[in-house]
Amino acid sequence: MIDMLRLTRDSAPSSATILSKAPELGIVHIGLGNFHRAHFAVHTAQAIAHSGGDWGIYGYSLRSSTIAEKLAAQDFLYSVVDIHPDSEQTLIPGIHVGASGGPEALAEVLNFLVDERTRIISLTITESGYCYSTETGGLDECRIEIIHDLEDLTAPHSVIGLLAKALIMRAAQERGPVTILSCDNLTSNGATTKRVLLEFAAKLSAPDSQLLTQYINNKASFPNSMVDRIVPSTEERHRELVAARLNIADQIPVPAEKFSMWVLEDNFIAGRPAWEHAGVLFSTEVDRFETMKLRLLNGSHSLLAYVGALAGKETVPQARFTPYIESAVRAFMKKEMLPTFAMPSQVDADQYIEDLFSRWSNTVLSDTTARIGSDGSIKLPPRITQTSLWHGQAGNATPLTALILAAWLACVAPPRGFEPGPIARAMKDTALGYLGELSSAGQTPEQIVESLFSEGRIFTKELNALARLKKDVTHCFEKIQSEGIESATLDALNQ
């Protein structure tokens, strides 16, 4: 990009829609990744543009300062680009009032977290960031960062520890109430966040334990939410697209699908932006929306990712347009997911499913199966546990759920002699070390499956009692190894 103006408030192009001029601080957001900047930040900027209010966002990333530094270099501006065949919309959310990242910025972010003006602390830290146990639903006391923070909260290593320290300081300094708003794909994400924090508080020594527990129970709220927008990683082609559209050099543009959905409980103890004027739906059925997304979108995403990766499909559209994979996804939703829950009253199931296939068909966006398939050890338990137990109690087989689990294992814990391919090898997972141990220790797919379920480190031990599920996972796993993913998928479809 030659002779391009750097994106700043003075150089922001008139050809883009600039949402709000940086208001005063009201929100501290932890997690500066693409999803936050294309979802929470956009909806908040739209709400302020419509109704005003001091809800400026200070952003923080626990692990890295890279995004914060790039934001600062651009006056905390960036572009959000619709990647869709019929949209060329580009938004510039002028909503961030500051940003920092990395352990060296802990003191700075704590000042903002404790600031009296901060009335919402929001989170997009992925499922693994909550340090919760997939077996109990509460605090995972075995996580290295939790062990550290319980011993020494001076410089927290986890977001849970950081929140705990900030709330203890707010309590000690008699600050006002605050809402903790999770925007991640957890079951009952608000309630889960509160539970993890309370269990963390119970492990602390007095007086910190009492201060934190009382503040959580009396001066904090934890609304549940459902968030939905496909936001892939930024590539050079997206920077080039922004340069072509706006004649601006933006180092951190965010590509996103046009679709965006956010459903919230209206439980904000210290006020909130007028999100209802920015397309956000306030509902008493957040649990239904959450379950719908978790089982139909996220569960199907897992099938597309793992089966697609083994089939050599680099992108979601490539997987979705593979006939046997599409058939498996449709059957999975219809036979194994839809019977297990009640849809929200405002949503038609058939239309929702067709809308999903339309979104997955976006070849311009081309989200990758490796990205979707990463962190399966955290993502899969909430997506398949309750449905598997439901079907197990009813005496039903779930061959397509078994296919997902077997394909996941083939990607991240392949048996000896099986090569899953470069797409599967590119998947990241916090449990890769453990999964590698399973793979190297188990000489057969049956042994790997048995160890996975019996040890209960990823899936609840309740699933270990489902002999039929384990048998089906083993069968699929063996089929993938001996005959390939297409044969295994067709076999699951015919059961």
pLDDT digits (tens, 9 = 90+) for 326-347: 999 999 999 999 999 999 999 9
Q: Tens digits of per-residue pLDDT, 392-437?
A: 999 999 999 999 999 999 999 998 889 999 999 999 998 999 999 9
Sign of the Cα torsion 144, 165, 213, 25 reads: negative
Cis peptide before 223 (omega within 30 of 0): no
Judged against a pLDDT cut of 90, whether residue 23 lies above it is answered with no
Please count the other Cβ atoms lying within 10 Å of the Cβ belonging to residue 477: 28
pLDDT in tens, 47-102: 999 999 999 999 999 999 999 999 999 999 999 999 887 777 889 999 999 999 99
Rounded CA gap, 193 and 184, in Å? 10
278 has pLDDT over 80: yes
Answer whether 448's CB lies under 8 Å from 415's CB.
yes
pTM here is: 0.90
Question: Please, are residues 461 and 135 in contact by the beta-carbon 8 Å criterion?
Answer: yes
Residue 1, pLDDT above cutoff 60? no
Q: Where are the CATH 1.10.1040.10 domain residues in the chain?
A: 286-493
HEC letters along 162-213: HHHHHHHHHHHCCCCCEEEEECCCCCCHHHHHHHHHHHHHHHCCCCHHHHHH
Confidence of residue 15 (pLDDT cuts 50, 70, 90): low
pLDDT at 4: 62
Measured CA to CA in angstroms, residue 210 lies from 214, 228, 489 at distances of: 6, 36, 53
The 8-class DSSP code of residue 413 comes to S
Residue-level pLDDT at 428 = 94
Q: State the Cα–Cα distance between residues 290 and 261, nearest whole angstrom.
A: 11
Mean pLDDT of the chain: 94
At 30, give phi and psi (nearest 5°): -105, 120
Reported as a single tens digit per residue, the pLDDT across 110-164 is 999 999 999 999 999 999 999 998 778 899 999 999 999 999 999 999 999 999 9
- Token pair, residue 244, equals 């072509």
Distance CA 93, CA 83 (A): 17
- Single out the residue of 84, 160, 22, 60 nearest to residue 359, CA to CA: 84
What is the reported pLDDT for 12?
72
Give the span between the Cα atoms of 132 and 79, in whole angstroms.
33
How are beta strands 225-228 and 261-264 bridged, if at all?
A: antiparallel
Q: Class assignment of domain 5-282?
A: alpha beta
Pairwise CA distance, residues 485 & 280, whole Å: 40
- Cβ pair 220, 178 in contact under 8 A: yes
In this prediction, residue 186 carries a pLDDT of 87
Say if residues 236 and 211 touch (Cβ distance below 8 Å). no
DSSP 225-269: EEEE-------HHHHHHHHHHHSEE-SS-EEE-S--EEEE----T
> How many whole angstroms separate alpha carbon 404 and alpha carbon 337?
13
Residue of 262, 250, 258, 247 whose CA lies nearest to 365:
258
Q: What percentage of residues in the chain have a pLDDT greater than 70?
A: 98
Element (H, E) at 6: strand 5-6
What does the block give as tokens for 53? 């209010």
The pLDDT assigned to 20 comes to: 60
Which helix (H) or strand (E) segment is 57 a member of? Answer: strand 56-61
Q: Label residue 2 by pLDDT band (50, 70, 90).
A: very low
The distance from CA 39 to its chain's CA centroid, rounded to whole angstroms, is 12
3-state secondary structure of 12: coil
State the Cα–Cα distance between residues 130 and 382, nearest whole angstrom: 14
286-493 maps to which CATH number? Answer: 1.10.1040.10
Q: Which residues of 9-18 are buried (b: 16+ CB within 10 A; e: fewer)?
A: eebbbeebeb
Q: Kindly report the number of other CB atoms within 10 A of residue 357's CB atom.
A: 15
Beta carbons of 81 and 245 less than 8 angstroms apart? yes
CA distance 92 to 20: 9
| pLDDT above 70 for 376 | yes
CA angle 243, 247, 253 (to 5 degrees): 40
Tokens of 205: 């020594």
- What number of helices (H) and strands (E) belong to the chain? 22, 15
